[in-house]
């Protein structure tokens, strides 16, 4: 009897020790704090006449032991990256230029990563008025292959923002040639989509020119997609 009890106890111990704890928890995306979304960043330490050092801040994200801050100059599309265990990091960036920034959360015990929202801002310079942020392409994503609708059309979608909140219009250029120079439509400040006629098996190029009430403009850059 005692021998059976001992055997059962050992079996129970083996079962409890051999249980599967499951995969490590994946990190969660961080909430961004500063520079604020679609803002003019006036806080920074002057480095010289053309550059300031800006401190980026975000909230702690769960299951994260390291963050990667990515800051992109929207005029050159050149990114700057910095890795940190903190919830802030400083980078030297050019004055009077538009930027996007985001944070990637990582966990050393997990292969998964999580990325925050992407926010836009202008680093303050000597300007009294700012050009709009370059339009951000939503759909179709660059390099994708898409299905045309029953009318042989694809909807081009983008998002726009401006520090001065005075966007006047968006002009869409679309063609089979890169860079696209054919204007296919102008929309107002609140309309950020446009249908275009397409043919199967064709690669198309498109870009969006944003204009504000002061006449300032910004170019999204060229994106491409293929139609099934």
Scan for tokens 């994106």, then name that residue: 223
| Model confidence at 5: pLDDT above 50 | no
- Grade residue 7 by pLDDT with cuts at 50, 70 and 90: low
- Grade residue 125 by pLDDT with cuts at 50, 70 and 90: confident
| Model confidence at 21: pLDDT above 90 | no
Alpha-carbon distance values, 166 to 30, 67, 159, 179, 212 (Å): 30, 35, 14, 27, 5
Average pLDDT over residues 185-194: 97
C-alpha angle with apex 131: 103 to 134, nearest 5 degrees?
45
Mean of all residue pLDDT scores within the chain: 91
Domains recognised in the chain with CATH numbers: 32-123 (2.60.40.10), 136-227 (2.60.40.10)
**Main-chain phi, psi angles of 149, to 5 degrees:** -90, -175
Average pLDDT over residues 5-21: 51
- β-pair partners for 170: 187, 210
Pairing of strands 88-94, 51-58: antiparallel
């Amino acid at each position: 009897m005692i021998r059976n009890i001992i055997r059962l106890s050992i079996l129970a111990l083996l079962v409890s020790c051999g249980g599967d704890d499951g995969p490590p928890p994946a990190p969660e995306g961080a909430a961004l704090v500063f520079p604020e979304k679609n803002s003019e960043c006036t806080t920074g330490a002057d480095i010289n006449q053309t550059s300031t050092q800006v401190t980026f801040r975000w909230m702690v994200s769960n299951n994260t032991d390291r963050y990667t801050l990515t800051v992109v100059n929207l005029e050159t599309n050149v990114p700057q990256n910095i890795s940190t265990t903190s919830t802030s990091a400083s980078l030297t960036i050019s004055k009077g230029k538009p930027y996007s920034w985001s944070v990637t959360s990582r966990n050393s015990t997990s292969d998964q990563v999580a990325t925050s929202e992407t926010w836009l801002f202008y680093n303050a310079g000597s300007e009294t008025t700012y050009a709009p942020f370059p339009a951000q392409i939503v759909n179709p994503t660059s390099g994708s292959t898409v299905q045309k609708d029953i009318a042989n059309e694809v909807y081009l979608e983008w998002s726009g923002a401006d520090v001065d909140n005075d966007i006047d219009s968006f002009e869409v250029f679309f063609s089979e040639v890169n860079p696209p120079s054919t204007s296919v439509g102008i929309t107002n400040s609140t309309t950020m989509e446009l249908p275009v006629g397409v043919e199967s098996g064709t690669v198309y190029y498109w870009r969006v020119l944003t204009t504000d009430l002061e006449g300032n403009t910004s170019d999204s850059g060229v994106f491409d997609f293929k139609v099934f």
